[in-house]
Structure 1
């Protein structure tokens, strides 16, 4: 109980006075809407809408989707009866009580995320595709049976599946896609049973979802990706189904999307939530309405179109040569659509194919495929753009240009990169470093940010050497949640084991740190970045980090300046978290050799000699350390190099670490001895700033 009061107090701290008034109105609405449980609207449309998406089953490659659907670390078989309120990971079930009373935080009914993932109905468009491609009525029968089951088990405002508006709108989008693939209006003309299903069951539930979406906006400190989803789902639905309120809903959704496109992205198209994996999820919420607007003669503004291309261009720059993204911030494997025609599917690359169609930029087409391979056209893009889109994609010339470094200085994201062609192997080689000097997150609660100021990661030839360990969970498993968002779980400096901001709840940060980029420049020979943050001012400490990447010698040098201007000694820890497939050899107390089985290059990591070091793998006590989460609710041990020392009151220390990437054929000891020479000459040449 005391934890609940503490969370409520901290949540109120994050709110403005207007938001408090809004929350009071929501509270009153919650009480008054209880009487609407089970509401069954009478819905009649003048006509059933015809498809606006150009899906031709005869032009798409035959696709077979698995009946075993992935639900994080579990699966469900959609050929079997589905319990819509069951958390399949724990066997616990949410009660079918008033939706807004649902307990999604304590875990006593299981994980709402598991339940919601099933109830997004991402598999319904898959069934629709298989029916249209094969003509086999078993897929249509299954589509209708699953839908009827959902309608029966989830009356309006009953159960946890009516709790979150983002879930409501993802269902709306998947019903829209399914209707278009099925050509439901034509099917209803020839199939009386299907017509009855559409008119008496499906349309009323779609209408309920539209009403709920419009009445329950996520505003103020919650106005992040949830709000985008609400505008997107309602705009798409109201553009397709002509309900009495559709004109109002269309205008509401469109103006909201126009506003949030600019508000939730920087001028360079970088999303402000500071959660990299979320970018593919959020971008679909902007892309699909864009397509619908074009198809219905209600296009978005030129500013919206231009900003969408900027978002896609950031995606193009922040992927490594294997299409792996820098895993800063939260990730939960969220998808708006799950139309995959090959596995594993990379939705970032699918978005780049969309970008190629919209902009006709060869770079998007190039980066949507593996190096040297012919870019393919995926099913999701075919559903959205049809044969005309595929023709545009195939008409774009295929080129293979090497990418360099890209600095997003205003946003605090820096991509340090070297690409070259190995003529002997005919392969692309890449050193990829992402340095993070960005804010904690978006809005007052920064819900999906991690305390990772001045952290970095390193990929070599598309393999993860120095990693961001991931997310694992949100509301449930608080000990794991606290670890994965913590400063200690990132490749940066941690002082006294404390975070750089105050974690007041699973999705609530207070006392956000501020970052400042002191200098940033890139040349043909090197990249240099120096930044500082104030996240440890409550400890009377300060951390500044300089990155220096020499592309001529493939050396990354980190310089940490830590100042203790207080009256107490402090523990300084410098963390290096390794990817889970990295093998580690220790050549001396502070020199480590990192290897990966899928690349012919290795990394020698030399940690500052002033620090003591220890290697930790899969530790629980005395504190969690050495863990990696490859996806939501996925967990495995990994190796962490922990370097540490005590800094005395009034002391300022400078710590220098170096990582050199070299071919396996190079003598490791020789490489290790070269490291100190490299930094001395480069730092003197560049006159690194210490502020």
Structure 2
């Protein structure tokens, strides 16, 4: 059975993707034998010159975190103005070993230091943006700090040596941040030779394993293609002929990735809110850069798909907070931390993408999102986009029901690309800023097996779990087998007072789950039907932890809300248990979960009164 699952998943992932991955492995073996990608580092150089347009009266919102802190994943702050330890995992206070070996001799997952992303985070150069903004606003002393930090990074991370050169996407994020910082400091046209060198060594690293990024069918490909396009076009613009190759490769694969990975309804291949934002931010920077250098436009289908992707994410945002459901894998990435808003506030990115690719403001009112555009010197249009509404994204498997400030989301399986979450028929429910029924999040990509299974497995979602197993068998850290297929998908607006949608699936072991959600004026109804399981089925509702919830019989209530449960068979167990959620990467907190357990086929109904 396991072999059959692996073979079927192999073909689901795609033969070409497997070939790309095998080619990557062959290249790594070649690098090990030939010791490729080794070169000397340049240090004690000036990378950024004094800013030619200092404006001490600049009142734009900016990111000031890094001026006094070292910041990890937008929430974990170490009060310090000193250079970070580029090899430190500050969460476990562990340091990487063998930092003098080439990147291709380093394993993908090292258990000795925990999550490698904790080491990579400071090397994404978010601090470069913060320092550049500060200099532009008149704090000239931070220019010395900026150059000092770059020199220290280069001294401790010589080209292609150590953990911070392991990942092509990490190198790509650095290229993008270097380019944005140069734009802010007005040095795109007059980059120093040291900055040119910095771009060149990064592009060589990215291009050497682009095949790995393409094999993933995710944001690795969009990020690395974008960096090659931005860096290559910059070099070519300044007269460096090798830039033409990188620019062309970047353009080719960015076109390819957008056309393939953004579906016809705007869903991105990773089925993730935060990775969707990362992709949009990446493409937004590319478009800003292309406009600045007066380069040829991308194809019509490129802009069509990015426009659809922009409108897709817009439908999920809650206007009074900028927050979105915590659905899908989430590694804490925030490519453009420019205006000091919270990591969970998607409005700045959304506003930028809406203006660039639809020609409309996302919000009529003024806010930090307008300053976000001003840092890129983008004129803000007057036309305002229509408010989000009830909509179905059937290519990606999302049904949204909206009524005023209420949002209900049904996530159903339409897996064209590999799923990394076992979240079939998960439901998210929002009233304004309040996420009453919520997703567990991701927490960490390199933690214990039980924690990985908890957050990305079925237990981490508002759905039904059969026989204490996942809906799909886990084949790897980011891969499930036997991809589910939805049946009986419906979506309809009954009248002005009632909307509903539904879907169902049957898993590889014959267990089936059918779910219908109905949104009315003051009640949200979820109807579940389960069958085919062996021992038991558990329905979970992950509740808003800011409320105090009390269980009384078949009711769970707080001061403002009430959930009522019913079934056509005897309910074996109903209780509130303490669970975990992760709103920010590597930060987990407690949250109450209602569990309803049955041991025979049945119909279950949940009514949430508000």
In the superposition, the TM-score normalised over structure 2's length comes to: 0.88
- Shift of residue 74 of structure 1? 3.0
Conserved 8 A contact 1:123-1:338: no
Alignment partners' CA distance in 2, 1:356 and 1:186: 25
Alignment partners' CA distance in 1, 2:196 and 2:461: 48
- Name the counterpart of 2:140: 137
| Residue correspondence of structure 1 range 621-660 to structure 2 within 5 A | 626-647=579-600, 652-660=601-609
1:549 to 500, 512, 519: 519
Alignment partners' CA distance in 2, 1:633 and 1:151: 27
1:174 to 148, 172, 177: 177
- After superposition, the Cα gap between the structure-2 partners of 1:547 and 1:344, relative to the gap in structure 1 and judged at 3 Å, is closer
- After superposition, the Cα gap between the structure-2 partners of 1:28 and 1:259, relative to the gap in structure 1 and judged at 3 Å, is closer
- After superposition, the Cα gap between the structure-2 partners of 1:343 and 1:99, relative to the gap in structure 1 and judged at 3 Å, is same
Conserved 8 A contact 1:14-1:221: no
- Name the counterpart of 1:671: none
Secondary structure in structure 2 of the residue aligned to 1:335: coil
Q: What whole-Å deviation, never above 9, does each CA across 1:27-84 have from its counterpart, x for those lacking one? A: 3322333423541399xxxxx9999x99977655375713213213532456213221
- Shift of residue 570 of structure 1? 2.2
- Shift of residue 474 of structure 1? 0.5
Asked whether 1:591 is paired with 2:594, we answer: no
- Name the counterpart of 1:456: 427
- Name the counterpart of 1:87: 89
Q: What whole-Å deviation, never above 9, does each CA across 1:114-167 have from its counterpart, x for those lacking one? A: 111111011102111111221x43201101100001111111221111111110
Secondary structure in structure 1 of the residue aligned to 2:538: strand
2:409 to 434, 458, 474: 434
- After superposition, the Cα gap between the structure-2 partners of 1:323 and 1:62, relative to the gap in structure 1 and judged at 3 Å, is closer
| Residue correspondence of structure 1 range 203-282 to structure 2 within 5 A | 203-217=196-210, 218-219=212-213, 221-242=215-236, 243-282=240-279
- Name the counterpart of 2:374: 382
- Name the counterpart of 2:501: 529
- After superposition, the Cα gap between the structure-2 partners of 1:185 and 1:542, relative to the gap in structure 1 and judged at 3 Å, is closer
- Shift of residue 517 of structure 1? 4.2
Alignment partners' CA distance in 2, 1:30 and 1:520: 48
- Name the counterpart of 2:3: none
Stretch deviating more after TM superposition (607-616 or 15-24): 15-24
- Shift of residue 23 of structure 1? 4.0
- Name the counterpart of 1:160: 163
Alignment partners' CA distance in 1, 2:16 and 2:391: 39
- After superposition, the Cα gap between the structure-2 partners of 1:123 and 1:9, relative to the gap in structure 1 and judged at 3 Å, is farther
Secondary structure in structure 1 of the residue aligned to 2:408: strand
Conserved 8 A contact 1:440-1:451: no
- After superposition, the Cα gap between the structure-2 partners of 1:403 and 1:154, relative to the gap in structure 1 and judged at 3 Å, is closer
Alignment partners' CA distance in 2, 1:9 and 1:152: 46
| Residue correspondence of structure 1 range 50-89 to structure 2 within 5 A | 60-61=59-60, 63=62, 65-66=64-65, 67-72=68-73, 74-77=76-79, 79-89=81-91
1:110 to 105, 114, 121: 114
- Name the counterpart of 1:5: none
| Residue correspondence of structure 1 range 26-37 to structure 2 within 5 A | 26-34=24-32, 35-36=35-36
Alignment partners' CA distance in 2, 1:408 and 1:349: 23
| Residue correspondence of structure 1 range 281-292 to structure 2 within 5 A | 281-292=278-289
Alignment partners' CA distance in 2, 1:522 and 1:10: 37
In the superposition, the TM-score normalised over structure 1's length comes to: 0.78
- Shift of residue 545 of structure 1? 1.1
Secondary structure in structure 1 of the residue aligned to 2:160: coil
Asked whether 1:602 is paired with 2:600, we answer: no
Conserved 8 A contact 1:431-1:458: yes
Q: What whole-Å deviation, never above 9, does each CA across 1:568-591 have from its counterpart, x for those lacking one? A: 74211111111221211223x211
- Shift of residue 220 of structure 1? 5.5
- Larger Rg: 1 or 2? 1
Conserved 8 A contact 2:310-2:354: yes
- After superposition, the Cα gap between the structure-2 partners of 1:60 and 1:38, relative to the gap in structure 1 and judged at 3 Å, is farther
CA RMSD, Structure 1 to Structure 2 (Å): 3.1
Conserved 8 A contact 2:223-2:282: yes
Asked whether 1:184 is paired with 2:192, we answer: no
Gapped regions of structure 1 (runs ≥ 5): 1-7, 43-47, 189-197, 367-372, 420-429, 596-600, 619-625, 662-691
Alignment partners' CA distance in 2, 1:18 and 1:459: 40
- Name the counterpart of 1:191: none
Stretch deviating more after TM superposition (349-358 or 209-218): 349-358
Alignment partners' CA distance in 2, 1:106 and 1:240: 36
Secondary structure in structure 2 of the residue aligned to 1:543: strand
Conserved 8 A contact 2:21-2:215: no
- Name the counterpart of 1:340: 339
Alignment partners' CA distance in 1, 2:179 and 2:426: 41
Stretch deviating more after TM superposition (228-237 or 574-583): 574-583
Secondary structure in structure 2 of the residue aligned to 1:411: coil
Q: What whole-Å deviation, never above 9, does each CA across 1:600-645 have from its counterpart, x for those lacking one? A: x423333436323333443xxxxxxx11112101111111110011
Alignment partners' CA distance in 2, 1:351 and 1:556: 28
Q: What whole-Å deviation, never above 9, does each CA across 1:632-679 have from its counterpart, x for those lacking one? A: 0111111111001112xxxx4222222222xxxxxxxxxxxxxxxxxx
